[in-house]
């Protein structure tokens, strides 16, 4: 989603901001822009629709030093990548936005949504402001300009922020205030990067990788004023505050597809290593668990997440109910946060989030915390807003996931739930952990035999729609398989619990509909799956069966002839969801590559969804 990078005092500010924006590219965006300020405080803006290269081309065509600004004197720059929410992706709607009303001209970049912008815009127009975009953001520079008439810069941005409803992270430049960046946040993340003779602001520290290792994460309501030599920080009440400096050793290298055609394929192949790392970190060689927290007397669990993370949570429900024996609810965060669900005293609330920044999951976590729940977050971003808000954090240790469609983080989430179920359960963990240790090798074996899935993918590229079915723990995996397929191949796909097929989806079945069934031969329910398959076959549907060797052994020759069979290795029950995940990810991946879609940055999607 949108990204902010700002620098003041850096001799190479324009290039460093562009590089910072490129580090956030993988999150998805549709336009970009920068504003540069010269030593006299004049500001020049350049924007372009499309990828950052388009902005670089614009800068080459109309260099900053052809305007009123001397390139060599630019030490202060703010930049933005925009993922359209209000208004289509056009140059006019791209950030930065500028406005002046009574006070100096103000230039801003903004992440999040100003929910009351319509009302504010009407008020500002009545006072003489002229708007040039369809964005919610454009109200910000006018309001800040007004506030600067009567307030100091820090007070002005604090007062301006108080008029906004919604979530925001803002960085601003003010005409006539050279080498000064103003910033504030609420709901959306923003951090300061600390340099020698320069300071930076970014929506994600990753943008500043290679520039600094020292960061300060702003809290809700915080307002910052940065110059090349100092920064001042006030809280939402206008009191000076200090926030801890965190040292983060961020991976500077974004180049590495390491020979893979796409980041997604690379990340799929990283899963054996991710699984091995999680097991090694959170277990001991003598067969006990070593999770970084202690939870006892858990009587009920709420799991809340969005998208793929919510399907990992749904798998977690099966695992926790079976091993811990307490009731577990799974909710989609956007529903949970407004439903006001009853939360029993002493309950455990688990937020699941790769990015740790998803707006709805974060809001749900804060709601649960305010209602006395013990909050645990399973996240791949241990410095994220959710990690800071939760009582306990279980880092997923999957390494940075660049492809928008989540793969290795999903697998890490499922494994984290498996470990948690063993930790909270009463079974002796040692035998289970011995089984789990076989996972990396089993996944490697699966990755060594991709051909049948690639062949299968070539046969579904023309499909307009697909069904994914599964039972038990494989039902939420069917939802995930359908989501992955639609995200990157743009084929419409639905996931259902197998038992639901007769209750409606069967109406869709005809000769053009591939139906992917997930079934293990080891759960005593395989006969029921076979009945489901026959129902599809009888309506000339295309049956694809993903099963283990135990399942395949239960098929007679005639049934085998009527379907496409993909086998996964036989393995203990605890390993089933992860072993069935790989073929689904690969099927989506190979279908998408056969269709020629933008696999790593599929259309309309963003990696980290920081707005509702």
Interface residues with ligand F6R (CB under 6 A) are 306-309, 353-355, 358, 361, 405-406, 483, 487, 608-609
* Nearest CA among 315, 306, 367, 378 for reference residue 341: 367
Query: Which residues in 134-288 belong to E strands, given as ranges?
Result: 166-174, 181-186, 191-194, 199-202, 214-217, 223-226, 231-234, 246-247
Q: Taking the complex as a whole, how short is the minimal distance between the CB of residue 509 and ligand F6R, in angstroms?
A: 26
Angle at 213 between CA 232 and CA 190, to 5 degrees: 50
Instruction: Say which residue the tokens 């002229």 belong to.
Output: 130
Grouping H, G, I as helix, E, B as strand and the rest as coil, residue 304 is: strand
How many residues are present in the chain?
A: 612
Share in percent of the chain as helix, strand, coil (round to 5): 40, 20, 40
> If you write DSSP's letter for every residue of 319-352 in order, what string do you get?
HHHHHH-S-EEEEEHHHHHHH-----TT-EEEEE
Q: Taking the complex as a whole, how short is the minimal distance between the CB of residue 282 and ligand F6R, in angstroms?
A: 19
* Nearest CA among 269, 260, 221, 255 for reference residue 241: 221
2 counts as catalytic? yes
Instruction: For residue 172, count other CB atoms closer than 10 A to its CB.
Output: 30
User: How far from 559 is each of 48, 136, 169, CA to CA, in Å?
Assistant: 56, 58, 57
User: Would you say 22 or 608 has its CB closer to ligand F6R?
Assistant: 608
Q: Taking the complex as a whole, how short is the minimal distance between the CB of residue 575 and ligand F6R, in angstroms?
A: 22
Distance CA 560, CA 570 (A): 18
Establish how many alpha carbons lie within 13 A of residue 4's alpha carbon, considering only the half-sphere containing its beta carbon: 28
* Nearest CA among 141, 140, 157 for reference residue 224: 157
* Nearest CA among 365, 334, 335 for reference residue 351: 365
User: Would you say 199 or 311 has its CB closer to ligand F6R?
Assistant: 311
Q: What is the largest CA-CA distance in the chain?
A: 84
* Nearest CA among 550, 544, 484, 480 for reference residue 517: 544
* Nearest CA among 60, 63, 17, 68 for reference residue 42: 68
Question: Of these residues, 277, 408, 486, 607, which one is catalytic?
Answer: 607
Distance CA 235, CA 313 (A): 35
User: Would you say 37 or 379 has its CB closer to ligand F6R?
Assistant: 379
Q: Taking the complex as a whole, how short is the minimal distance between the CB of residue 511 and ligand F6R, in angstroms?
A: 30
Q: Taking the complex as a whole, how short is the minimal distance between the CB of residue 168 and ligand F6R, in angstroms?
A: 19
Question: Of these residues, 2, 191, 223, 375, which one is catalytic?
Answer: 2
User: How far from 128 is each of 95, 120, 142, 146, 288, CA to CA, in Å?
Assistant: 22, 12, 10, 12, 68
Q: Taking the complex as a whole, how short is the minimal distance between the CB of residue 368 and ligand F6R, in angstroms?
A: 15
- Cβ atoms of 59 and 74 within 8 Å: the answer is no
438 counts as catalytic? no
Q: Taking the complex as a whole, how short is the minimal distance between the CB of residue 323 and ligand F6R, in angstroms?
A: 23
Q: Taking the complex as a whole, how short is the minimal distance between the CB of residue 406 and ligand F6R, in angstroms?
A: 3
User: Would you say 92 or 605 has its CB closer to ligand F6R?
Assistant: 605
* Nearest CA among 539, 570, 543, 546 for reference residue 559: 543
User: Would you say 77 or 385 has its CB closer to ligand F6R?
Assistant: 385
Q: Taking the complex as a whole, how short is the minimal distance between the CB of residue 357 and ligand F6R, in angstroms?
A: 7
**What's 283's DSSP letter?**
B
User: Would you say 146 or 406 has its CB closer to ligand F6R?
Assistant: 406
Q: Taking the complex as a whole, how short is the minimal distance between the CB of residue 397 and ligand F6R, in angstroms?
A: 15
> If you write DSSP's letter for every residue of 415-479 in order, what string do you get?
HHHHHHHHHHSSS-HHHHHHHHTTHHHHHHHHHT--HHHHHHHHHHTT-SEEEEEE-TTHHHHHH
User: Would you say 200 or 611 has its CB closer to ligand F6R?
Assistant: 611
User: Would you say 39 or 332 has its CB closer to ligand F6R?
Assistant: 332
User: Would you say 93 or 385 has its CB closer to ligand F6R?
Assistant: 385
Distance CA 101, CA 131 (A): 11
User: Would you say 487 or 600 has its CB closer to ligand F6R?
Assistant: 487
Catalytic residues: 2, 607
């Amino acid at each position: 989603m949108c990204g902010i990078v700002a620098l003041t005092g850096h001799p190479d500010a324009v290039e460093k901001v562009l590089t910072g924006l490129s580090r956030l590219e993988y999150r998805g965006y549709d336009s970009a822009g920068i504003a540069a300020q010269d030593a006299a405080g004049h500001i020049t803006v350049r924007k372009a629709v499309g990828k950052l290269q388009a902005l670089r081309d614009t800068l080459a065509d109309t260099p900053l030093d052809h305007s009123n600004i001397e390139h060599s004197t630019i030490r202060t720059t703010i930049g933005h990548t925009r993922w359209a929410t209000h208004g289509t992706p056009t140059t006019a709607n791209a950030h930065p936005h500028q406005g002046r009303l009574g006070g100096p001209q103000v230039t801003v970049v903004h992440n999040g949504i100003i929910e009351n912008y319509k009302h504010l815009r009407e008020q500002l127009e009545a006072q003489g402001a002229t708007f040039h975009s369809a964005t919610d953001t454009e109200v910000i520079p006018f309001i800040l300009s007004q506030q600067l008439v009567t307030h100091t810069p820090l007070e002005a941005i604090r007062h301006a922020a108080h008029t906004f409803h919604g979530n925001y992270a803002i960085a601003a430049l003010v005409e006539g205030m050279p080498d000064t960046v103003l910033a504030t946040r609420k709901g959306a993340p923003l951090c300061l990067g600390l340099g020698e003779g320069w300071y930076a602001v970014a929506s994600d520290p990753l943008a500043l990788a290679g520039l600094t290792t020292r960061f300060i994460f702003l809290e809700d309501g915080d307002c910052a004023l940065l110059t090349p030599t100092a920064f001042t920080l006030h809280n939402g009440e206008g009191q000076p505050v200090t926030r801890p400096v965190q040292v983060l050793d961020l991976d500077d290298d974004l180049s590495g597809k390491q020979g893979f055609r796409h980041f997604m394929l690379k990340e799929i192949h990283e899963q054996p290593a991710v699984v091995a790392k999680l097991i090694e970190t959170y277990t001991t060689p003598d067969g006990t668990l070593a999770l970084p927290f202690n939870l006892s007397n858990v009587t009920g669990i709420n799991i809340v997440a969005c998208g793929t993370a919510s399907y990992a949570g749904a798998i977690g429900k099966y695992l926790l109910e079976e091993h811990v024996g307490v009731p577990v609810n799974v909710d989609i965060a956007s529903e949970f946060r407004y439903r006001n669900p009853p939360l029993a005293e002493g309950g455990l609330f688990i937020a699941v989030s790769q990015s740790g920044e998803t707006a709805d999951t974060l809001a749900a976590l804060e709601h649960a915390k305010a209602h006395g729940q013990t909050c645990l977050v399973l996240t791949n971003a241990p410095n994220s807003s959710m990690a800071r808000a939760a009582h306990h954090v279980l880092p997923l240790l999957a390494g940075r996931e660049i492809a928008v469609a989540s793969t290795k983080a999903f697998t890490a989430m499922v494994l984290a739930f498996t470990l948690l179920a063993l930790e909270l359960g009463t079974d002796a963990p040692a035998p289970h952990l011995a089984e789990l240790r076989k996972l990396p090798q089993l996944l490697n074996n699966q990755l060594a035999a991709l051909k049948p899935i690639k062949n299968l993918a070539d046969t579904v590229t023309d499909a307009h729609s697909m069904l994914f079915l599964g039972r038990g723990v494989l039902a939420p995996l069917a939802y995930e398989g359908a989501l992955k397929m639609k995200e990157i191949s743009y084929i419409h796909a639905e996931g259902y619990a197998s038992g639901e097929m007769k209750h409606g989806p069967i109406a869709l079945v005809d000769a053009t509909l591939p139906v992917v069934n997930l079934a293990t031969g080891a759960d005593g329910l395989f006969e029921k799956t076979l009945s489901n398959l026959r129902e599809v076959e009888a309506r000339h549907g295309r049956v694809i069966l993903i099963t283990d060797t135990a399942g395949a052994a239960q098929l007679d020759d005639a049934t085998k002839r009527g379907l496409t069979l993909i086998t996964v290795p036989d393995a203990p029950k605890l390993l089933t969801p992860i072993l069935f995940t790989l073929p689904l990810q690969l099927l989506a991946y190979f279908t998408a590559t056969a269709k020629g879609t933008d696999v790593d940055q599929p259309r309309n999607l963003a990696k980290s969804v920081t707005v509702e």
